Structures are given as C-alpha cells and as structure tokens.
C-alpha cells in the first residue's frame, strides 16, 4: 500500500575499523609483543579473579612505539576529517598495553575527558577476538518487547570481531566491554585516548557572541 518506505539513521554512533596490510602489521606486532614483554618483565603476580596486566599510560612517549603512534595519529586525523571537525591539533593523552590472560574480561566502561579512544590488536585469537559496544541511550530498555531476530535496529549490544593488525576507533563516551578470554593464550592490545590540544584555550569557549563590553575606567 506504500509507494516507498525509507529508514533515516538520525544521530548515528560510528566505530571506525582500520585494518593494516599484512606486510605492515606482521612485523609491527612481532616488535610490539617483544617490546611489551621485555619492558614489563618481571610482571607482578595477578591477584585471584578477573585481572589483567596494564602498563602505565605513556607508551606514546616511548621511542619503540613510534610506528604505532604514527599509525594512530594518522587514523585519528582521518576520522576527524571525515566527520568534518575543525581542529588545529590533537594529542594522544594516554596509551597503554593490555595483557589479558585466559578467563579475563573487561566490564562496560567509557574513557572520560577525551574525544576519541581506540584499541590496536597485537595478539588475539579465536575465543578472544571481539569487543562489544553497548546502547548509549539508557531509555531504550524501558520497553523491551520480544524480538523475532536480533538486528541493528533492536540490539542493545553489538559485538565487533577483531583480529591482529586491526585498529578500532570510537567516541570516548561510547560504552564498551571485552568478553571473557576463552582461549589458552594472552590477549594483547594497545589502547589509547585522543583529545584536542587546544581544548581549554579555544574549543571550550562559548560558540556564540554577545553584546560587546568594555572595561570601566577607574574613578
């Protein structure tokens, strides 16, 4: 009865997936795994329960990670260009490695006080090869009818498969989690945050203009 039906994706939330070429990520991952292992050895024992090793958040300041830092910066610039964000410059505000043993998962969380966040995968395998993104509109679950099939319109969680050499970038406010490592090997990734370097000086200022004021002269 309808001549045409269209669906308009207003206010979409995007996740950018960058896959490096094998000739780039294979030697890069070998170096990353070797450097991370050597820089963190000997690692302290993990307490019982769901715990992983995480390095301090300054890997972007260490020479051994220059290639990965360059890849991250280039990808973030591409994201900002695509969504047409005017910016003078941006910086990586934190970058750290995650080493998750079998059985470890990461609860749903965000990365406050940043604009973009992401993760690069150096070692993932079947059973430890996904990241999940959660519906950011909490009111979506107020009415939750039974579905005939989960799809992009009715799912409250979307799972993204990952693999070695994949770089995933997303808004820092986007709630995400990592499922349990069901494999028998470490899952190794490098996470990062990005923010505008001129945020306090330029971006945080009001975007509207008011009536000009002048200083009153001293009596």
Structural domains of the chain in order of their starting residue, each with its CATH number: 16-41+49-138+150-197 (2.60.120.620)
Instruction: Give the Cα separation of 30 and 161 in Å (integer).
Output: 21
Q: What is the DSSP letter of 186?
A: -
Q: Which DSSP letter does residue 29 get?
A: H
Given this model, what pLDDT does residue 86 score?
82
Query: Any idea which residue has 């890997």 for tokens?
Result: 59
> Tell me, what's the pLDDT at 149?
94
Burial of 194 (0-12, 13-18, 19+ CB in 10 A): buried
- Give the pLDDT of residue 153: 87
CA distance 214 to 1: 65
- If one counts every other C-beta atom within 10 angstroms of the C-beta of residue 83, the result is 10
Per-residue model confidence (pLDDT) at position 218: 65
One digit per residue, the tens of pLDDT, for the chain of length 219 reads 999 999 998 999 999 999 999 999 999 999 999 999 999 999 999 988 889 999 999 999 999 999 999 999 999 999 999 999 987 799 999 999 999 999 999 999 999 999 999 999 999 999 999 999 999 988 888 888 999 999 988 899 999 999 999 999 999 999 999 999 999 999 999 999 999 998 888 788 877 888 888 877 766
Q: What is the DSSP letter of 13?
A: -
Phi, psi of 123 (to 5 degrees): -150, 105
Task: Output the pLDDT for position 143.
Answer: 87
Task: Reduce the DSSP state of residue 146 to 3 states and report it.
Answer: coil
């Amino acid at each position: 009865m309808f001549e045409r039906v269209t669906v308009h994706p207003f206010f979409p939330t995007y996740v950018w997936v960058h896959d490096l070429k094998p000739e780039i990520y294979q030697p890069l991952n070998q170096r990353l795994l070797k450097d991370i292992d050597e820089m963190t050895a000997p690692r302290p024992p993990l307490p019982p329960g769901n715990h992983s090793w995480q390095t301090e958040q300054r890997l972007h300041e260490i020479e051994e990670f220059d290639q990965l830092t360059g890849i991250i910066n280039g990808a973030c610039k591409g994201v900002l260009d695509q969504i047409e964000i005017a910016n003078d410059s941006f910086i990586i505000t934190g970058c750290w490695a995650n080493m998750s043993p079998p059985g470890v998962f990461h609860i749903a969380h965000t990365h406050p006080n940043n604009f973009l966040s992401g993760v690069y995968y150096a070692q993932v395998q079947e059973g430890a090869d996904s990241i999940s993104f959660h519906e950011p509109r909490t009111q979506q679950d107020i009415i939750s009818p039974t579905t005939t099939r989960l799809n992009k319109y009715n799912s409250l969680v979307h799972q993204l498969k990952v693999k070695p050499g994949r770089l995933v970038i997303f808004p820092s406010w986007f709630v995400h989690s990592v499922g349990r490592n069901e494999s028998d090997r470490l899952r190794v990734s490098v996470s990062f945050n990005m923010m505008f370097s001129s945020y306090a000086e330029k971006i945080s200022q009001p975007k509207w203009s008011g009536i000009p004021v002048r200083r009153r002269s001293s009596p």
